[in-house]
Chains A and B, each alone.
Chain A
Amino acid sequence: MAEKSSIFDMIGPVMIGPSSSHTAGVVRIARAAIRVLGCQPETAEITFYNSFARTYEGHGSDRAVIAGLLDFKTDDIRIKESFRYAAEAGLQYSFKSVGNASAMHPNTLKLNLSGPNGQVEVVGQSRGGGVIRIVEVDGFPSDFSANLHTLMIEADDVKGSIAFIADVIAHDDCNIATMTVSRRGKNQLARQFIEMDTALKPLTLEYIRHLSWIKNITYIPNIE
């Protein structure tokens, strides 16, 4: 049974046009990506795939992605003028188009971002109505919507780590909605992407961060 729609999906969302998938969804992918990076990016290379590749200018997806990198919300009227705001913020960016990427969703976007905290590669899909999925981070498969709260963990591939993290989250009274786990190879670096219905307590995050086999964690609260 599909989840029931809200009346605010019928009368809404309030958004900047022209298209929920090519404008609003693109803003949200970029807003998710800067949270994965963990800071304001200084440079951004943006690749538009498939259906986006030829129409990104006409639909304003280029302005939308830059607006998202500046953390503008989907109903922010500054989206149209985002290039000007990017210049003021000192954000360097470039666009590239790739067509016929048959393994990818029709509306796919890749963001290579770098900033004071480091760099990251994020691949996102815009699935219509402003709904998105982040499907890859630094080459690791992921699957989160940024509608819920997401915990991203970089850790050693040790036995019991998944069960342990799930247990810690359960003790914080959080329900796990989705979980994606993968690793570079046996006993190598592993990534967990955990989507939760409710927010994690800062204390729980700090505890996880200080475990000896954890390399890094990034917490992404839901994005409007």
Chain B
Amino acid sequence: MSLLFQDFASWEKHYQETGEPLYQPVLQYEIEQKDRTEAYIWENIARAYDVMREAVKTGLTQNMTSRSGMVNNGAKKVAATPITVLSPDFKLLIARTLGAKEVNSCMGRVVAAPTAGASGILPGILTTLQDIHQLDDRKIHEALLVAAGIALIIEENASLAGAVGGCQAETGSAAAMGAGAIVYCLGGTVPQAFNAVAITIQCMLGLVCDPVAGLVEVPCIVRNASAAAIAFSSAQIAIAGVDPVIPVDQCVMALGEVGQSMETRYKETALGGLANTPTGRAIEKQVLVQDIEILPDTPSE
């Protein structure tokens, strides 16, 4: 029987009992639950990482403007600026994350990880991590499996969809997946990897989904960048052995609870937050289709 990824406690227990690397039960899960072969899984994880790498490259080299005009080559501007606010690596992390997410907004090819709205985060994190630490592709592929296991648990106990749990469910989950992947790649312990997930959720909790004009552009793109930064800060804290105090499974429960109690206006409906500002409304008027037939209200049966 494969591990079903219902909580982090059982994943950790499985590790203690078997000593298997963290990605092994994720492989086993897919083989048993979805009738996949191991070769198929590695091949498609490798393809996913190739698409992520390609998205980063596309976002940093090609013209990235969206039909609404809200996306205008932000990643390339960050990459090109001579001003480095923290370090060259940090600047690259931000540029790469923005780049991959801009590709999504501009109808390019991405990996929804876990969703299209959060599709810049893992590419930015993993390509930067690989670059800095000279990791081989196999290590990154293993880390993607670990990230998938993290997402399975969050999906089971909270949500991965902005329409259900707000932005915390999308970019928060992607950042948590990234933080766990970072600690895994750098040889941290299993509790440290899961603590990185816990700390990331603590940082992302409460974030609402309030896209201007309902488009996956503002603030989604800049939030991908901040989520990537939070994944690194959380991994740094966790790998040093700092205790998150609230255990990871309880952080996931809190994520679910906050998502459930969030008002509908903050769940991808473009009714609240930034979408409801005067500028947000003005942009909405410009980009929305105006030639529309509105049916009369029908009394409910």
**Contact B116–A20 (Cβ < 8 Å):** yes
- Closest chain-B Cβ to A187's Cβ sits at a distance in Å of 29
Known contacts A97-B291, A102-B295, A7 near B110 by CB under 8 Å:
no
Q: Decide yes or no whether B4 CB sits under 8 A from chain A.
A: yes
**Contact B216–A18 (Cβ < 8 Å):** yes
Fill in one digit per residue for A97-125: 1 if any B CB lies within 8 Å of its CB, else 0.
11111110000000000000000000000
* Distance, CA A53 to CA B295, complexed state (A): 12
Across-interface contacts of B160 in A (CB, < 8 A): 10
* Distance, CA A8 to CA B111, complexed state (A): 10
**Contact A6–B214 (Cβ < 8 Å):** no
**Contact B26–A53 (Cβ < 8 Å):** no
* Distance, CA A23 to CA B113, complexed state (A): 16
Which of B45, B104, B148, B289 has its CB near the most chain A CB atoms (within 10 A)?
B289
**Contact B214–A80 (Cβ < 8 Å):** no
The listed residue (B41, B117, B151) touching A10 by CB distance below 8 A is B151
**Contact B110–A99 (Cβ < 8 Å):** no
Fill in one digit per residue for A49-64: 1 if any B CB lies within 8 Å of its CB, else 0.
0010111111110010
* Distance, CA A54 to CA B217, complexed state (A): 16
The listed residue (B115, B152, B155, B288) touching A20 by CB distance below 8 A is B115
**Contact B107–A18 (Cβ < 8 Å):** yes
**Contact B155–A103 (Cβ < 8 Å):** no
Across-interface contacts of A99 in B (CB, < 8 A): 292-295
Q: Decide yes or no whether A158 CB sits under 8 A from chain B.
A: no
Which of B26, B113, B122, B149 has its CB near the most chain A CB atoms (within 10 A)?
B113
Q: Decide yes or no whether B186 CB sits under 8 A from chain A.
A: no
Q: Decide yes or no whether B10 CB sits under 8 A from chain A.
A: no
**Contact A98–B295 (Cβ < 8 Å):** yes
Q: Decide yes or no whether B34 CB sits under 8 A from chain A.
A: yes
Across-interface contacts of A60 in B (CB, < 8 A): 67, 107
Q: Decide yes or no whether A77 CB sits under 8 A from chain B.
A: yes
Q: Which residue on chain B has the smallest CB distance to residue A20?
A: B116
Q: Decide yes or no whether A13 CB sits under 8 A from chain B.
A: yes
Across-interface contacts of B161 in A (CB, < 8 A): 128
Which of A6, A11, A54, A79 has its CB near the most chain B CB atoms (within 10 A)?
A11
Q: Decide yes or no whether B47 CB sits under 8 A from chain A.
A: yes
A-facing residues in B47-102 (Cβ within 8 Å): 47-48, 51, 67-68
Instruction: Sort chain B's interface into a size bin.
Output: 35 or more
Known contacts A7-B30, A54-B292, A97-B293, A75 near B114 by CB under 8 Å:
no
Across-interface contacts of B294 in A (CB, < 8 A): 98-100
Q: Which residue on chain B has the smallest CB distance to residue A101?
A: B295
Known contacts A4-B4, A6-B34, A12 near B111 by CB under 8 Å:
yes
Across-interface contacts of B107 in A (CB, < 8 A): 16-18, 23, 60, 63, 79-80
Across-interface contacts of A212 in B (CB, < 8 A): none
Q: Decide yes or no whether B287 CB sits under 8 A from chain A.
A: yes
* Distance, CA A101 to CA B294, complexed state (A): 8
Across-interface contacts of B155 in A (CB, < 8 A): 5, 10
Binding site for A on B (CB under 8 A): 4, 26, 29-30, 33-34, 41, 44-45, 47-48, 51, 67-68, 103-117, 119, 122, 144-145, 147-149, 151-152, 155, 160-161, 163, 177, 213-217, 287-289, 291-298, 300
Q: List 26 A-B contacts (CB under 8 A).
A: A7-B149, A7-B152, A8-B30, A8-B48, A9-B114, A10-B160, A11-B114, A11-B144, A15-B110, A17-B103, A18-B117, A18-B216, A19-B116, A24-B116, A53-B292, A58-B67, A58-B215, A80-B107, A80-B108, A97-B289, A98-B292, A98-B293, A100-B296, A100-B297, A101-B295, A102-B297
